[in-house]
Chains A and B, each alone.
Chain A
Amino acid sequence: MNWKHFDEPAAIFALAPQPGGACLAATEQGLWQFDPRGGGWQPIAPQLAHVPLTAVAACGPTWLIGSNGDIAFSRDGGQNWQLANLPVKARVLGLVVSPQFERDGVALAATAEDGVLRSADHGVTWHAWNYGLLDLGINAIAVSPDFGEDATCFAASDHAVFMSVNGGRAWQELPAPMAAGPFTSLAVAMTRRGPTLYVGAEGSGLWASAAPYEAWQQIKGLRAGEVNFVLPGWAATTAGVYVAAGRRWRVALRRPDVVCMALLDDGALVAGTAGGGVWYGAAD
Chain B
Amino acid sequence: MIAEAVKPTLGPLPRFVGIAGMSRDRPPELLDDAATIARRIIQIADPTADVGAMMMRHALWRMHETCGDGSATMATIAQALVQEATKAIAAGAHPALLRKGIELGLARASEALRAGAFRPTDGRRSHERLATLAKSACHDAELRDVLVEVVGILGPDGAIHVVSNHARCVDREYIEGAMWDSPWLTTGFATDAAQSVARISDAAVILLDGKLDSAVNALEGLKRLYGFGHRSVLIVAGDLSDEAKAALIQAKLSGAMSILPVKAPGFGATRAVALQDLAVLTGARVLFGDSAAFAQVAPEDVGSVRRAWATARQFGIIGGKRDPVALRSSIASVRRKIDETANLEEIAELRMRLGRLCGGLAIVRVGGATNKIQESRRDEAVRLSRMLQMAVGRGYVAGGGAALFKVAQSLLSDLSRSGDRAHDDVAFGARCLARALEAPLMTIAANAGFDPAEVAGQVRAALRADPRACYGFDARSGRVGDMLAAGIVDSAEVIERAVRVAGSLAATAITTDAVVHHRKPALATNP
Contacts and interface: CB of A to CB of B under 8 A. Distances in A.
A149 B124 contact: yes
Nearest to B358: A132
B159 to A, nearest CB: 10
Contacts of B201: 88
B153 A152 contact: no
A132 B322 contact: no
A172 B153 CA distance: 11
Contact of B121 (A130, A136, A165, A170): A165
A212 interface: yes
Contacts of B176: 87, 127-128, 130
A108 to B, nearest CB: 14
The size bracket of the interface on B is 20 to 34
Interface stretch (B10-18, B284-292, B324-332): B324-332
Contacts of B116: none
Contacts of B306: 88, 113-114, 136
Contact of B324 (A114, A135, A212): A135
A115 B319 contact: yes
B126 A165 contact: yes
A154 B123 CA distance: 13
A159 B176 CA distance: 22
Contacts of A213: 121
Contacts of A165: 120-123, 126
Interface in B2-57: none
Interface string B141-156: 0000000000011110
B324 A134 contact: yes
B147 to A, nearest CB: 14
A170 B360 contact: yes
A114 B307 CA distance: 10
Given A134-B324, A135-B324, A170-B153, A88 B307 contact: yes
A157 to B, nearest CB: 8
B412 to A, nearest CB: 31
Given A151-B123, A165-B121, A134 B155 contact: no
Contacts of B177: 130
Interface in A212-257: 212-213
Interface in A85-112: 87-88
Contacts of B331: 134
A169 B362 CA distance: 13
Interface string B266-285: 00000000000000000000
A134 B153 contact: no
A167 interface: yes
A133 B318 CA distance: 12
Interface residues of A, number: 32
B304 to A, nearest CB: 10
B210 interface: no
Contacts of A158: 324
B157 interface: yes
B319 A169 contact: no
A221 B126 CA distance: 36
A113 B120 CA distance: 31
Given A131-B155, A131-B158, A152 B358 contact: no
Interface in B352-382: 358-360
B119 interface: yes
Given A131-B154, A136-B319, A212 B358 contact: no
Nearest to B126: A165
B157 A166 contact: no
A201 to B, nearest CB: 15
A245 to B, nearest CB: 29
Interface string B306-338: 110000000000110010100110010000000
Interface of A: 87-88, 113-115, 127-128, 130-136, 146, 149-152, 158-160, 164-167, 169-170, 172, 211-213
11 contacts: A130-B177, A131-B359, A133-B359, A134-B327, A146-B122, A150-B124, A159-B324, A165-B120, A165-B122, A211-B121, A212-B119
Interface of B: 119-127, 152-155, 157-158, 176-177, 201, 306-307, 318-319, 322, 324, 327-328, 331, 358-360
